Amino acid sequence: MFGALMPKEGKYFESFNAHGDLVALGGTTLSKLIAALSSESGDAQRLADEIDQIESRADDITHNVLSQLHTSFITPFDRDEIHELINSMDNILDTIQDVAEAMSLYDIHRVPPDAMEMCDSTERCCAKVAELVRLLSNMDNAPGILKLCKEIDDLETEVDRQLRSAMSKLFREEPDVREIIKLKEIYQLVEAVTDRCKDVAGTVEAIVLENS
């Protein structure tokens, strides 16, 4: 039944794919923002503005999907699952935007290498979310989907470890209490991006297990 409905409801999958691409782009742009702050290249504000634009485009897609739910008689899978999936994807970009806004709010001009390491892992996690949702239109992809869910979970665990290491180093080596407070917030927000990616993986895993 799932496969038979997909051609009629292709716009859902197009929306998921478009949103996933924006999640991947948001992860890449966040890494560029952190790199710009690390190198003091002067591109930080431009990149923060790009993140705002990406998040706004993703909000439009989310709104369109939710509007579709109110007008579609047939959906490719459970309406609550569609609602949860698109909102959990949107939460990733909301959190990326939170990181960028915190950078500006706290007037961050110096970012330790630990933040760059965390962002590299976060960027990979966001890219896997885009790859994950692209496979969702065909349940023959179930083994690959579940493999990606596991990889996202592993990356979230890796960033948890990086966070603990970064926080330990911060409290041991940073003499300025104000910097500790600001960087602690940034580290935790970056880690939260992968938490949101894991939420998407959990939703997709449930969809696959129900429909494959």
pLDDT in tens, 25-74: 999 999 999 988 877 667 888 999 999 999 999 999 999 999 988 887 78
Q: Where are the domains of the chain?
A: 2-211
Rg (CA), the chain: 18
Helices (H), 8-112: 10-39, 44-71, 79-105
Query: 49-87 burial by CB neighbour count: b if 16+ within 10 A, else e?
Result: ebbeebbebbeebbeebeebeeeeeeebbeeebbebbbb
Average model confidence (pLDDT) across the chain: 91
Q: Is the pLDDT of residue 108 over 80?
A: yes
Say how many CA atoms lie within 13 Å of 156 toward its Cβ.
Answer: 20
The pLDDT score that the predictor gives to residue 43 is 85
Contact 30, 120 (CB under 8 A): no
Q: At the top level of CATH, which class does the domain 2-211 belong to?
A: mainly alpha
210/72: higher pLDDT? 210
Share of the chain above pLDDT 90, in %: 75
The pLDDT score that the predictor gives to residue 37 is 83
Here the tokens at position 140 are: 């023959």
Handedness of CA 175, 180, 182, 187 (dihedral sign): positive
Query: 8-24 burial by CB neighbour count: b if 16+ within 10 A, else e?
Result: ebeebbebbbbbbbbbb
**Burial class, 195, CB count within 10 angstroms (exposed 0-12 / middle 13-18 / buried 19+):** middle
Tell me the pTM: 0.92
Q: What pLDDT band is residue 5 in, cutting at 50, 70 and 90?
A: very low
Query: d(Cα 22, Cα 90) in Å, to the nearest integer?
Result: 10
